[in-house]
Chains A and B, each alone.
Chain A
Amino acid sequence: MNINATLIGEAIWFGVFIWITMKYVWPPLQKAMADRQKLIADGLAAGERGKHELELAGKRSADALRDAKAKAAEIVAASEKRAAQMIEEAKLAAKIEADKVVLSAKAEIAQQVEQARAELRGRVADLAVAGAERILRREVDARVHADMLVALKQEL
């Protein structure tokens, strides 16, 4: 066991290594570990928050679904009502239109009847004149008696 200058050399080595550790090893490692710890803690907190939010979202979506169902039922009922109303309206309009058509047809018929009657009247008058002409060939002059025949036509 001989103590000598090696001791000083070892103390210097020791100092150098303490310095390296203090300056280049410990601070970055400490920072990395602290950062990671924070990262993990944040991650866990975020996970917890996400779980909570999922729960809330589930609740919200159930609510929304219920609302939507109610609204859809409402819309269906309203549209059914509206459809019935429209059918009624259409029926009414159709009836009015039909009445109108019937009315105009009737008027036309009446007009045609009138026309036919007038035509008939003319023929009958011609016929009567022709008959009378045959009977009265000699003494009757058509030109003289035309006025009388027109008067007769008006009476028919």
Chain B
Amino acid sequence: MASGEALTTSGYIVHHLTNLTAGHGFWTVHLDTLLVSGLLGLFCFVGMAKLAGRATSGVPGKMQALVEMVVSFVDQQVKDTYHGKSALVTPLAITIFVWVFVMNAMDLIPVDFLPVVAGGLGIHYLKVVPTTDPNLTFGMSLTVFVIMMVMGVKVKGVGGFMHEVFTVPFGAKLAPLNLLFRIIEDIAKPISLSLRLFGNMYAGEMVFILIALMGLWQLPLALPWALFHILIITLQAFVFMMLTIVYLSMASESHG
């Protein structure tokens, strides 16, 4: 609870859900989302890159074993689902899984801890979990969407891609209907991808905030919800990764 504000229930909730912003109009940026997601990502991926740089094929250290476990788990999912040749899919899936996982995991830090620390430093708004910001989830899903489109055209060629757009699923005679279906399908993909993650994490964060409002009762309640939330954190990271792989495999396999 930031100092100096009216400690009403709705004020507390709204305060927690307000981003630290800069700029205005469309060119507003959420500094907290950008910083937290960027620092987490840099920490994870630069760390992993350093570790991979001195990875040994002999007996791996504990950190290398952990990273290898995650990476080979993701690679197995990719191998099971995606049968194309692109070298991008596995790194993309690893990036999504690891990044979304660590960003979601910020949810497990007690809701008031970082905002109070930041308040002490003179920052009055801080939304800690980047995946509760639709800008981030849409940023990711639209990137995936672009990769999907590019891969579709690259694998099938422009002609093949257009042929698929106009003839699947009802055949060439119902081309306008096929096009309509295709547009709906392709728009639905990034929207469902990003809103699923955003909705789950936003709701989870909201429950944490509500529990934090309960005074002493938050102690027996926050722990089981946090334990349960570990499941959601992992599951949402997995689902985002898995659906990305599925979309990319659909983009690189012809439907007929």
Q: Which A residues are within 8 Å of any B CB, using their own CB?
A: 1-11, 13-18, 20-22, 24-33, 35-36, 39
Contacts and interface: CB of A to CB of B under 8 A. Distances in A.
Contacts of A30: 75
Nearest to B70: A29
Contacts of B82: none
B56 A15 contact: no
A13 B102 CA distance: 14
A9 B52 CA distance: 27
B139 interface: yes
A114 B53 CA distance: 120
Given A18-B95, A21-B48, A5 B71 contact: no
Give chain B's interface residue range (CB within 8 Å of chain A): 35 or more
B69 to A, nearest CB: 10
A7 B56 contact: no
SS of A interface (majority): helix
Contacts of A15: 143
Contacts of B171: none
Interface stretch (B24-32, B113-121, B224-232): B24-32
Task: Sort A-B residue pairs by CB-CB distance and give the 6 closest, nearest first.
Answer: A10-B139, A35-B57, A24-B49, A6-B135, A22-B91, A32-B55
A4 B23 CA distance: 10
B45 A17 contact: yes
24 contacts: A4-B26, A4-B29, A5-B27, A6-B34, A7-B139, A8-B139, A10-B130, A10-B136, A10-B140, A11-B140, A11-B143, A13-B41, A18-B88, A20-B45, A20-B46, A21-B95, A25-B52, A25-B94, A26-B91, A28-B52, A32-B64, A33-B57, A33-B68, A39-B57
